[in-house]
Structure 1
Amino acid sequence: MVRKIFSILMGILLCFSIASCGIAKKDITRAEEQKMQNEALQKPLEKPKEKISNTVNNAVYTNTENLDNTLYSWGLRVLPNHQTPEITPLAMELIKKYDAVFVGDTTKKVVYLTFDEGYENGYTPKILDILKENNVKAAFFVTGPYVKEQADLVKRMVEEGHIVGNHTVNHPSLPTLSDEKVKEEITKLGDMFEELTGKKMKYFRPPKGEYSERTLYLTKSLGYRTVFWSLAMADWQPLPGGPEESYNTVMKRLHPGAVILLHAVSKDNALALDRIIKSIKAEGYEFKTLDDIP
């Protein structure tokens, strides 16, 4: 208990939350939006997430009742001079215990490029073109509607050698669901993908970056490796600085072993991607895939 309290206190000091997706309020100015984004990306969390009961809709978990279901939002502390970002001791403990990933090989100048695909915004074909032109393989984490509505793009990802990962059917916060619902969200999407491509998924990214020890256990029990990230920005919405902000953020936070998360719905990312890739290579980095992470 003392160790857990210490870990949470450390989280207050070290973490800031970068959620996997979000919606900007429409009644704020661009200057206010930029200020909010900067604060979200640079300031530590003010308090830890609340502990969630193991009872959902009056159904008590049976298989994982002894596992902690405290909801955490994936967060990290950005460090200067291209150092590996810091995460809390508790987050690191769970990463190791459940064989999850947030960085790759931090001893070498390698990076791992990943995209989240909640829905198609018209930019993925261009992103795939740029990846092909630069001979870079990436991972795309897709949802149920994406597999159903963008079957041709999903098949193109596979055909061009990219990894397609599981982002659940409906993009819910998994710690708020029962064991059965968590399994359904993950396995149903895996089945949809296998029916479409004949291949199995093996990597998973938690929707909204929200997780608990219970959901990490369930994910691993289903044969998936959970993939978080070490470099991201609030790019699910238009960036105040446009493509230049996308480029500058990636290059400023670049570090050995970086697992880069970009949202493919972002026009800014699509416009900056070719320059990002070429500049990363010019810095002496090599692009690897999630399969290369031990």
Structure 2
Amino acid sequence: MIYSGTYTAIKADVPEFFMRKFIKLERIRANRESIQKKLNKKWLTCGIFTCVAAIAMIGSYRYISGIVKVSSNVNGKELPIYCVQTDEKKVALSFDAAWGNDDTQRILDILKEHNVHVTFFMTGGWVESYPDDVKAIYEAGHDLGNHSQNHKNMSQLSDEEKTQELMSVHEKVKELTGVKMQLFRPPYGDYDNAVVLNARENGYYPIQWDVDSLDWKDYGTDSILNTVLNHKALGNGSIILCHNGAKYTADALDALLDGLKEKGYQVVPISQLIYKENYHMDVTGRQIPDAK
């Protein structure tokens, strides 16, 4: 018994009543020490568990954040790129080439005079009809973009048909210029989750616009200039939509480029505006670079 030594040492000089009290107090003290040791062990275990859980939660948060940051999915909806978040005064000018070709060379000449490069989204039919112009666009240093083979509503097609629409014109342009296109604009701006995912699976960045010139409505030169230059969405990282076959686009182009320059914007091809990796999207389709 742990108290026998203490008891033997003092029992000759201390009355039995006090000895019993002393032994009782010693037992209480020992019990308290035992309980305290158990509590300390329990709290240590809880503390370790809490730390591990906290680390796991932090790790999960970083992992989940990583998934969100590399995804174009916003609230369950896959989004193409409408514009780009940037502090630089840059915008991208784009031309959809699906019909007509009367003004293409004139547009190229004006762009050359301003030392500006843009992006042309071409359908397969347009490429087949005007192969020399496809080469001229490429040789002038402009982006070549995919606008589908037949300008159909992509959301109404099967996955196999979507791929055919993309890759048919892809191969035609590659054969003519050697370029493997990476930018895709859905005809009519029509898309759903399947269209965006299919484009990505085929190596394309789906591209929309946040500034529509409305040149396709043929309202005239002034209408194009006012629509673009006074557009509420025009800002750093904007993507502007025009058409090479619209009636007044070539007439408005020189003044449009001057107007953008006066506002302090540098016009660049879409390939030089967008982020190729380490980005996420907001609900408006704005492409945002991940924090470093």
What does residue 165 of structure 1 align with?
145
Secondary structure of the structure 2 residue equivalent to 1:175: helix
* TM-score, structure 1 as length reference: 0.65
Larger Rg: 2
**How far, CA to CA, are the matches of 1:280 and 1:121 in structure 2?**
25
* TM-score, structure 2 as length reference: 0.65
**How far, CA to CA, are the matches of 2:217 and 2:270 in structure 1?**
26
> What amino acid sits opposite 2:201 in the alignment?
S
For residues 163 and 213 of structure 1, do their structure 2 counterparts lie closer, same or farther at Cα, with a shift above 3 Å needed? Answer: same
Give CA-to-partner distance per residue, 1:26-46, whole Å, 9 cap, x none.
xxxxxxxxxxxxxxxxxxxxx
Shift of 1:109: 1.6
> What amino acid sits opposite 1:244 in the alignment?
D
Query: Which of 163, 168, 184 matches 1:183?
Result: 163
Q: Does 1:223 align with 2:197?
A: no
Matches within 5 A, 1:63-212: 94-95=78-79, 100-212=80-192
Q: Does 1:269 align with 2:253?
A: no
**How far, CA to CA, are the matches of 1:264 and 1:196 in structure 2?**
20
Q: Which runs of 4+ in 1 moved over 3 A?
A: none
Gaps of 5+ in 2: 1-73, 276-292
**How far, CA to CA, are the matches of 2:226 and 2:214 in structure 1?**
13
**How far, CA to CA, are the matches of 1:105 and 1:129 in structure 2?**
30
**How far, CA to CA, are the matches of 1:234 and 1:259 in structure 2?**
13
What does residue 67 of structure 1 align with?
none
Shift of 1:279: 1.4
Aligned length: 199
Normalized per residue, which structure has more helix? 2
Give CA-to-partner distance per residue, 1:137-187, whole Å, 9 cap, x none.
000000111101111111001001001100111001111111111100100
Shift of 1:90: 5.1
Q: Report sequence identity in percent.
A: 37
For residues 270 and 212 of structure 1, do their structure 2 counterparts lie closer, same or farther at Cα, with a shift above 3 Å needed? Answer: same
Q: Does 1:245 align with 2:261?
A: no
RMSD between superposed Cα atoms in Å: 1.5
What does residue 27 of structure 1 align with?
none
